[in-house]
């Protein structure tokens, strides 16, 4: 605006600190909220993407990243995204997003994906397209590629989890999600739904005994300070969809939308590579920091879920067609 221009022109000290390459203020400024610390690869690659977008749009489009629940916990960020107070939020269809779009949670079914090749072919293929359709119908814009969080492992402060019986009555934190609660109830545990923002203190004050997340998060959020054991259950995979408020996105010209999408989707590929590498490499670092790791045979856990009726129940909830799409990607789940 003219007024802003006049102010800057009269304030030499301030204008000297502005990036000189962009003669004008950004026309579109989108805030991004995430729930993990700045050091996590999610935020590292979002930061790089933000720089690239600014450069490639000649300063017209700017992202401002707010990591680590700075804007509020997941539930708050989801409300802000819906109202438009927040333009972008990273969340999976299995996490708080599932509280308003239950059908988007199907990728979180226990012990569905056996490895990364199976996972990416599904999430970049038909299953992912189905999930994005659910999210779009729920009123959001969603980028094509889902950012990797990882295969999840159970940590706790009292003992290694080797078989399902070890989870009996264990107070364990899970994200705020019906599917997640059901998974751990079916395994005999006593789960509580909490936003990630509350996890460290809930573990520290022993409101819960355990939680489940991949090594990149256990490390970035320093959960190893308040957890002793890490059991490599790989009981489910999770990632983050890049969600955008529909009205805000609609105000961005098509050519800029195309640049933003292209940059984000390629940054996401780089993030996936980093996360997968960290989730292996960090196990050694976490062990050096005092965590005790144990391998887990998933078969008895899957049997326990079957016996508890978990697969039958969720097949009924999601419906035969989406379930068939999941089974097409991962094999029979019963
Ligand atoms: O809340 C969690 O545990 C986290 C950070 O892994 C997710 O966003 C699912």
Whether the per-residue pLDDT at 5 is higher than 50: the answer is no
Rounded Cα–Cα distance for residues 45 and 270 (Å): 7
Residues 184-209 have a mean pLDDT of 98
In a mutational test of the pocket of ligand 1, which residue from 36, 97, 196 has the highest number of ligand atoms less than 8 Å from its CB?
Answer: 196
| CA–centroid distance, residue 155 to ligand 1 (Å) | 14
Residues 133-140 have a mean pLDDT of 97
Nearest residue to 176 (alpha-carbon basis) of 242, 94, 110, 240: 94
| CA–centroid distance, residue 220 to ligand 1 (Å) | 12
| CA–centroid distance, residue 10 to ligand 1 (Å) | 47
* Ligand 1 atom closest to the CA of 152, numbered from 1: 6
Whether the per-residue pLDDT at 248 is higher than 80: the answer is yes
The model's pTM:
0.93
At 10, the pLDDT band (50, 70, 90 cuts) reads: very low
Whether the per-residue pLDDT at 111 is higher than 70: the answer is yes
Residue 27's φ and ψ, nearest 5 degrees, are -80, -25
CB-defined site of ligand 1, < 6 Å: 35-36, 92, 95, 149, 175, 196, 213, 217, 238
At 112, the pLDDT band (50, 70, 90 cuts) reads: very high
* Ligand 1 atom closest to the CA of 91, numbered from 1: 8
Residues 191-202 have a mean pLDDT of 98
Ligand 1: which residue has its CA nearest to atom 5?
Answer: 196
**Cα 215 versus chain centre, distance:** 14
Residues 101-116 have a mean pLDDT of 97
At 23, the pLDDT band (50, 70, 90 cuts) reads: low
User: Considering the chain, what percentage of its residues have pLDDT values greater than 70?
Assistant: 93
In a mutational test of the pocket of ligand 1, which residue from 175, 181, 192, 195 has the highest number of ligand atoms less than 8 Å from its CB?
Answer: 175
Strands (E), the chain: 28-33, 61-66, 88-91, 140-142, 147-151, 153-156, 171-174, 190-193, 210-213, 229-232, 237-245, 292-295
* Ligand 1 atom closest to the CA of 35, numbered from 1: 5
Token reading at 35:
């729930």
At 331, the pLDDT band (50, 70, 90 cuts) reads: very high
Q: So what's the pLDDT on residue 25?
A: 86
Q: So what's the pLDDT on residue 134?
A: 97
At 17, the pLDDT band (50, 70, 90 cuts) reads: low
Q: Taking a C-beta distance cutoff of 8 angstroms, is the pair 95, 175 a contact?
A: yes
Q: How far is CA 135 from CA 77, 107, 124, 141, 313, in A?
A: 16, 13, 15, 8, 22
* Average pLDDT, rounded, for the chain: 94
Whether the per-residue pLDDT at 1 is higher than 70: the answer is no
At 24, the pLDDT band (50, 70, 90 cuts) reads: confident
* Ligand 1 atom closest to the CA of 195, numbered from 1: 1
Q: Taking a C-beta distance cutoff of 8 angstroms, is the pair 156, 172 a contact?
A: yes
Token reading at 162:
């080797």
Ligand 1: which residue has its CA nearest to atom 9?
Answer: 95
At 20, the pLDDT band (50, 70, 90 cuts) reads: low
């Amino acid at each position: 605006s003219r007024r802003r221009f006049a102010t800057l022109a009269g304030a030499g000290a301030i204008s000297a600190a502005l990036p000189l390459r962009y003669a004008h203020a950004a026309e579109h400024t989108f805030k991004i909220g995430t729930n993990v610390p700045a050091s996590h690869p999610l935020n590292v690659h979002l930061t790089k993407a933000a720089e690239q977008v600014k450069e490639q749009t000649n300063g017209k489009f700017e992202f401002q990243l707010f990591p680590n629940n700075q804007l509020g916990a997941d539930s708050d960020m989801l409300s802000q995204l819906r109202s438009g107070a927040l333009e972008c939020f990273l969340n999976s269809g299995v996490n708080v997003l599932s509280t308003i779009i239950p059908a988007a949670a199907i990728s979180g079914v226990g012990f569905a994906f056996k490895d990364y090749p199976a996972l990416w072919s599904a999430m970049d293929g038909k299953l992912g397209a189905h999930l994005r359709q659910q999210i779009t119908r729920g009123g959001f814009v969603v980028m094509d590629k889902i950012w990797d969080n990882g295969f999840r492992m159970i940590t706790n402060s009292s003992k290694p989890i080797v078989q399902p019986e070890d989870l009996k009555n264990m107070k364990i934190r899970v994200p705020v999600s019906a599917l997640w609660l059901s998974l751990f109830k079916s395994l005999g545990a006593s789960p509580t739904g909490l936003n990630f923002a509350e996890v460290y203190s809930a573990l520290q004050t022993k409101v819960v005994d355990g939680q489940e997340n991949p090594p990149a998060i256990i490390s970035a959020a320093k959960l190893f300070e308040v957890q002793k054991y890490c059991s490599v259950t790989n009981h489910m995979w999770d990632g983050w969809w890049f969600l955008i408020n529909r009205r805000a996105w609609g105000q961005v010209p098509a050519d800029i939308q195309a640049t933003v999408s292209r940059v984000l989707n390629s940054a996401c590929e780089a993030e996936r590579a980093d996360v997968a590498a960290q989730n292996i490499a960090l196990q050694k670092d976490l062990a050096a920091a005092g965590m005790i790791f144990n391998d887990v045979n998933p078969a008895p856990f899957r049997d326990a879920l079957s016996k508890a009726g978990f697969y039958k129940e969720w097949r009924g909830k999601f419906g035969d067609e989406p379930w068939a799409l999941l089974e097409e990607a991962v094999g029979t789940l019963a």
